[in-house]
Structure 1
Amino acid sequence: MYLSKHTSISKQQGNVYIIAIFVIVVLGMLTLNLTRIAWSNQDTLTREILGTQASMLAQSGNEWAMTHLFPLNEADDFDSLDTRCSSLSSSATAAANALIANSDIPCSSPTIACEASPENIPDGLRYLKVTTRAICNESNVFEVEREETVWVRGIKL
């Protein structure tokens, strides 16, 4: 851009204002998009951490159920396991509360359930299904639920 004899400097000052407004708008939009990306990354990380905590809590519940179903020096046949399975829900609440009390995670007590296979299955194929469900939430904003299931068979001696 050059100055002609007929163009004064005061007439060209409007171009600087247009360029300055354009730069401010572009930088503002760039800042806004970068802020959105940062919030999105933080939300994803929070959900991932809560999901891992819920998964580990559900796994801990299943491990506790396995120690209840297979105590040391006890019979491991299906009938004994079925009896322990029916008594699992009464002691599971105390165990679930202990799992939460001994950790510093924002989760509610996991639910541990045990159910036997249907009666019409042959004895050699009968099984127990132990399911633990854990729910973790952060300030009632995010809620993540994980469920883990273990299939158990008795040992026939």
Structure 2
Amino acid sequence: MYRNNRISLSSQQGNVYIVAIFVIVVMGMLALNLTRISWSNQDTLTREVLGSQASFLAQSGNEWALTHLFPLDQDDDHDSLVTRCSSLGNDAIGAKNALVANSGVACTAPDISCVYPFEDNEDSVPDELKYIQVSTRAICNDGNVFVVEREETVWVRGVKGE
């Protein structure tokens, strides 16, 4: 019994094309999925960096506001803090621009606000519960797609004079 090799080679020739096409399709799908994962990682990293920049800028705004509310060698009682809180908006204009200029990031000027929430019913609230809320909101973007916003809030109380 002798086998005819010509028939077996010609009958297997179409199978090689099918296997080659299958391998090309599978490799193409793998390459496409790896590209998607890579883009996803880049997007996540961009958002993380922008979020960190916005968070640090908001924290810097709060630190500036606290140095405005608690200056050295001045009274830190509640009434003095309320007075400084009301003047914070005018003084913060230059600080906002300086914070962005010195940060080196693509962010808008942070919104620094100081609120005394007990203004309407000050007499009914005990002194130990009165506080001032300092809040800074920073927005950073990459110029194309992503916009990230962070807001940080600090509550402060005055120190009773002796």
Question: Structure 1 vs Structure 2: percent identity of aligned residues?
Answer: 68
Whole-angstrom distance in 1 between the partners of 2:105 and 2:3: 73
Q: Count residues in correspondence.
A: 155
Residue 128 of structure 1 deviates from its aligned partner by: 0.2
3-state SS in 1 of match to 2:103: coil
Partner of 1:148: 152
3-state SS in 2 of match to 1:150: strand
Change in CA separation of 1:94 and 1:4 when aligned onto 2, cut-off 3 Å:
farther
Partner of 1:84: 84
Partner of 1:53: 53
* 1:131–1:150 Cα contact (<8 Å) kept: yes
* 1:78–1:155 Cα contact (<8 Å) kept: yes
Residue 8 of structure 1 deviates from its aligned partner by: 4.3
Whole-angstrom distance in 2 between the partners of 1:129 and 1:40: 38
Paired residue type of 1:134:
A
Paired residue type of 2:40:
S
Residue 4 of structure 1 deviates from its aligned partner by: 4.7
Structure 1 unmatched ranges of 5 or more = none
Aligned-residue Cα RMSD (Å) equals 1.5
Superposed counterparts of 1:11-50, under 5 Å: 11-50=11-50
Whole-angstrom distance in 2 between the partners of 1:91 and 1:152: 19
Paired residue type of 1:133:
R
TM-score under structure 2 length normalisation: 0.91
Whole-angstrom distance in 2 between the partners of 1:7 and 1:42: 54
TM-score under structure 1 length normalisation: 0.94
Structure 2 unmatched ranges of 5 or more = none
